[in-house]
Structure 1
Amino acid sequence: MSRPLKRGKACMNCRFLKIKCDGQKPICGPCRKHPKDDECEYSDGQARSRTKALEDTVARLEARLHELEHPEDPTPAVHDPYMQYSPPPQLTRSSSYASSSSFRSHSPYSPPSSPSSFGSSPLGIFDSRGSAMTPESNTSSVDFGTVHGRDLLLQTFLRHASGVGFFLDTKRFMQSLTERSMRPSSALLNAVYMWGAHLSADPREERFKYQALQCAATDLKPAHPQSFLHTIQAEVLLSQYFFRNGNFLEARAHTATAVALALGGGLHRIRSLRHPDVPVIGITEANEEGVHLRAPADAIEEGERINGFWAVFMLQSNLAVALLPAAHDVSGVFEPGGMQVDTPWPLEMDDYKQGLLTSDIHGDSTVRNYLSQPGPSSYQERPSIMAMNARACLLLHRAVYLHGQWTPNVAHSLSTAFDAVELRINTLRSQLPDLAQLDSRSAVRTILLTRSLLNSATIKLHSLYTESSAAARQHCLAAARDMFYFGDTNLQGLGYVNAIMGTLWLTACSVFIAELKRMREDARPAHAPSEEKEIYASLQDGLAALSAFARESLLMRHQLTKAHEAMSGL
């Protein structure tokens, strides 16, 4: 007869069910005979069990909740139970390319190396939640107690902020860093520092990502006047980051969260004529009354909400185009057949400050009307740069959707929709400013992206007819060539381009490759050698653009590899 186990030596399942455990490892007799949903785990080993991990997480969140409820209490020294078990992984870059630091030396945005001394954060975000960054850690840490240490990453991020989906007012965001009551959420600050570290090849990048992910799940605090927008902003930054680095599942997950928050808070119905009521986002326990997102305090805050919605809209559209496996799958929640969007088109922040969004401006089926109604579609005779970008995202998304719906049997019925989208593409292209007229690199990046989105939309529409129409092939070639026309702009000097550019550039390269293959397979000597040489030169321009950013973006590297694979038959 087996001897009874000592107290605490039974597995977690048997202890919970209060049944006799024989203590056999790795799986005890009762768990082997009657498998449970939970694995057979013991709490007496060196490795931390899943139950213990959950208990540690609950304890950490309870401590954080107490900290939020009692901000006047001094911050305690908190031990991070994760440190001895699973430190965040370190980022690795492909050795087949030049080092990140050597490439970034060409960028005017990369700051000098920051000091690696450790100090507590004056913003209070790395003292308890950031306990993974302890002095005993082998990784370097930043001294947020100095202006120099704090600003290095912020300055790097802000120079590229608009390109990664940052929609908050920059000046107000910077002011909030010094005001305790308006302090940005921990998830947002860590996401900002994560991007700053990523863009400057700072080794702290993985630590900031680790903290941002930890905080993102618990930072939505209704009591904070900007908590709602800050949470959406953090999710957008995380999604853009994961997309750029080839983590597609994570990118889509954070995008889905941002979309859910935007819709739940009614950001798609700002100034709506049809739905003037503010949606309920919760119910109070005391009197069971509905909780609403409070009205914006001023024009700037309303502008942040409008721009925040369109940032989420563009993110969702771009990821659908880039990541979904089939063109007919891209119809998303913001498509005309889905959720109705009434929010006005976005403006620049200075436009909101100057009162250009007057009280008489309202929204009504913004997306549907833009696609279906000819002529000016909104109060903006000349749309803002951000509105142009949003419309270009919409048009590419729509072109890809129509491309997926096309079959020979429905070609005639879809012709009206094709013509409407093409008209919108050409109209918007004619409104784009010349790159030489732009006075900031941020604007240059946005217009380059907008133009590439429009050119990709043109390619998607006309590629249906390239087998039978020489005119369609010329439309595709012209759009592909225009994608790599940068004027006097130093492409590498931009420092950063949106990750979707890799997908767009690959689309253009595919046009050149397909045309070269068609020429070489055509038995008729109807093509002059100079024409083939010109197309090949355009293809090399595309490969050079992808190569310029492949060193730093895994997604770009992936697209470059796909382009080279497609060239194998040439």
Structure 2
Amino acid sequence: MPPHKSENTLRRGTACLSCRKRKLKCDGTRPVCRQCTKMNRGHTCEYDDKQRKSRTQLLKEQLSQLERRLHELESKSKSSSSSPAPPSPPFQYDFESFGLEAFNDAPVASSSKYSLVNATSSSDTSPSPTPSGSRLANQSALFHPGDKYWLPSESSRPSSASNSVLGAPSQVDPRVSLSPRARRYLLDVFMNHRHQCWFYASMDRFLNSSLNQEPHPALINAMYLLACHFAHMPFYSEMIPAFFVQTQHEINAALDTSDRLADIVQASSLLAIYLYMNNRVVEGYRHTFSAVRLAIGLGLHQISTSNTIAKVYPRQTPLIPIAPPRDARELSDRIFAFWQVFMIDRCWSVANGLPLALPDKNTPQCRILTRWPSALGHWPDDGFQPPIQSFFDGLDTLGASEQFMPALKAKAAALYELTSRSKTFGSDPNDWAYCFAEAAVQRFSSTIPSLTFDRDYFMVQTVIYTSFVHLQRHVLFDGRALKAGNSIVQLILQLRDADWQYLDPIISVCWFTVAEMFICAIMSAKVDAFAGDVSNIVSVCTSGLDVLSHALTTYGAYCPLSGDLALKVELARG
């Protein structure tokens, strides 16, 4: 009778951490197991005696840590005034009371060992100043106010010191100190840069006061905030803290009164973009989370213009009441608002290894039914499947030349997030999840035309090439990842001096991802991890790193995050 071996079989999770990491059989001997003793690794033999936690528990703890960190930031920025109450959070709805608890078990985005920032990077709660001095020497008069746009006197300028507390509203709305011409100037600046914020809603109601659809002050202040950032002029840079504080104040006021909440989704989205590009991740994620949950509560994720899909996937009743759109423009703006916050969540949550605020779930409450954004009045048939599912399955028949640019960007963002999961499903060509993601990226890539240079296509192409890098990063020397990285380098070489200020901030994260891959390839080659002559690969990677490092540094003049990433690349290169 064979001996009974159950006594030598360890329970799951009871092997030492060193053996588990190396996938070796461990006998569980304490304090040092035999494998570690045999391999002279006694100092690394440790046991994890903690009770294993479920994914939901781990996620709740992670979110609790984020909340504690946010409270710490708020306590540091509290005013010395007599009011004992802490600043109101930017989103005050109790989601469980609205039935939104279905969204709470969100999947955790893959975290990178090259995580962009730590939570502590947001400890400075004062808004980051933009580079001073004009960098728009070759721009038209639109970007040079001069006599055309009256600038208030020194005495009328808002004091940044008095408005440095994030939770307290400014004494006076900073818009009051601006002349009509100065306000129009800021709107013009924002209109020229709004593609960087993924803001594609109609500007008619901002430019035409006769329309009976006045935007919420929170949205206007958020637009002015970003315009001050993009203007790169000392006077407007000084107004950034005031607009930042006032925007948060207006958002809280709107949530208290349920006033024009679709505008609040867009205002929170713009704040998130501003914070992310200034490397203030915790605050940016907080506003992203708020914007997503508000959009879901309003039902913006289930807007359909066709009865076809509504018969197959009935739209759920919005949990937060909202009046139906008054016209096609307002309907289109709501569609744009949803896809804007979708792109922010998919791109920036992944970039920082944070959980998606809008989980990828195929349930009646979570299912995304909102059609892809399109030109006003152009509503092609939605088909029989939800848009993202149809896109991933290859049923989206429109070529890139026939599609609206915001739709192309939203699809690129969806693929960016999908391929980021490669850390979970690996790069096995026979793995179903890998094959599914690779096929989706290849199909979409084949529809992107080869253009000499186009600012919007530049973002789409860069994100798609980065998605290829996500898929192939486990197999550095098969050529596909390096080819995708080199394609991004070639795109950078097409940039002209006037183009840098108009780049999407997420591009800096894509450049950092490629730089990370090049550094890993060079390090692997130096330790003979690959059999064969790798001198050509090392040369290509080194040249590519030089271009990427220079690009991150150059773009850092317009996007502080990019400058921080450039420093990380230089430190990693040694």
Give the TM-score range, shorter chain.
Answer: 0.5 to 0.7
The aligned residue for residue 199 of structure 2 is 166
Between the aligned partners of 2:127 and 2:534, the Cα distance in structure 1 is 52
The aligned residue for residue 438 of structure 2 is 422
The aligned residue for residue 507 of structure 1 is 513
The structural deviation recorded for 1:181 is 4.4
Q: Deviations over 1:292-334 (max 9, x none)?
A: 4222222222221222111111111012211126xxx559514
The structural deviation recorded for 1:381 is 8.8
CA contact (8 A) 1:191 1:238 kept: yes
SS at match of 2:326: coil
The structural deviation recorded for 1:142 is 7.0
CA contact (8 A) 1:264 1:281 kept: yes
The aligned residue for residue 365 of structure 1 is 386
Question: CA 1:322/1:132 → structure 2, altered by over 3 Å: closer, same or farther?
Answer: same
SS at match of 2:480: helix
Pick from 356, 370, 377: which aligns with 1:343?
370
The aligned residue for residue 472 of structure 2 is 462
Amino acid at match of 2:386: S
Pick from 134, 151, 154: which aligns with 2:187?
154
Q: Deviations over 1:218-261 (max 9, x none)?
A: 1248786xx12211110110000011111111111111111111
Amino acid at match of 1:356: H
CA contact (8 A) 1:342 1:366 kept: yes
CA contact (8 A) 1:269 1:275 kept: no
The aligned residue for residue 272 of structure 2 is 239
Percent pairwise identity: 21
The structural deviation recorded for 1:91 is 4.2
CA contact (8 A) 1:459 1:476 kept: yes
The aligned residue for residue 323 of structure 2 is 294
Between the aligned partners of 1:165 and 1:523, the Cα distance in structure 2 is 42
Question: CA 1:90/1:453 → structure 2, altered by over 3 Å: closer, same or farther?
Answer: closer
1:107-146 superposed matches below 5 A:
110-112=143-145, 115-117=151-153, 132-133=171-172, 143-146=177-180
Unaligned ranges ≥5, structure 2: 1-78, 89-124, 158-167
Amino acid at match of 1:345: W
* RMSD of equivalent CA atoms: 3.5
Between the aligned partners of 2:338 and 2:127, the Cα distance in structure 1 is 33
- Alignment partner of 1:495 is 2:501: yes
Between the aligned partners of 1:481 and 1:379, the Cα distance in structure 2 is 25
CA contact (8 A) 1:281 1:293 kept: no
Question: CA 1:344/1:179 → structure 2, altered by over 3 Å: closer, same or farther?
Answer: same
Pick from 396, 399, 417: which aligns with 2:419?
399
Between the aligned partners of 1:47 and 1:561, the Cα distance in structure 2 is 36
The aligned residue for residue 333 of structure 1 is 359
Q: Highest CA radius of gyration, 1 or 2?
A: 1
Whose RCO is larger (CA < 8 A, sep 6+)? 2
Amino acid at match of 1:424: A
Pick from 213, 220, 236: which aligns with 1:189?
220
CA contact (8 A) 1:342 1:363 kept: no
1:423-438 superposed matches below 5 A:
423-436=439-452
CA contact (8 A) 2:170 2:242 kept: no
- Alignment partner of 1:535 is 2:541: yes
Higher mean displacement: 521-530 or 475-484 = 521-530
Aligned residues: 435
- Alignment partner of 1:476 is 2:494: no
CA contact (8 A) 1:164 1:240 kept: yes
* TM-score, length of structure 2 as denominator length: 0.68
CA contact (8 A) 1:143 1:149 kept: no
CA contact (8 A) 2:425 2:431 kept: no
CA contact (8 A) 2:202 2:333 kept: yes
The structural deviation recorded for 1:504 is 0.7
Question: CA 1:525/1:356 → structure 2, altered by over 3 Å: closer, same or farther?
Answer: closer
Between the aligned partners of 2:422 and 2:543, the Cα distance in structure 1 is 31
Between the aligned partners of 2:504 and 2:536, the Cα distance in structure 1 is 34
- Alignment partner of 1:205 is 2:222: no
The aligned residue for residue 554 of structure 1 is 560
Between the aligned partners of 1:528 and 1:334, the Cα distance in structure 2 is 40
Question: CA 1:119/1:233 → structure 2, altered by over 3 Å: closer, same or farther?
Answer: same
The aligned residue for residue 161 of structure 2 is none
The structural deviation recorded for 1:378 is 7.0
The structural deviation recorded for 1:170 is 1.8
The structural deviation recorded for 1:101 is 1.8
Q: Deviations over 1:419-464 (max 9, x none)?
A: 222122122122223334x7xxxxx332111111111111111112
CA contact (8 A) 1:141 1:204 kept: no
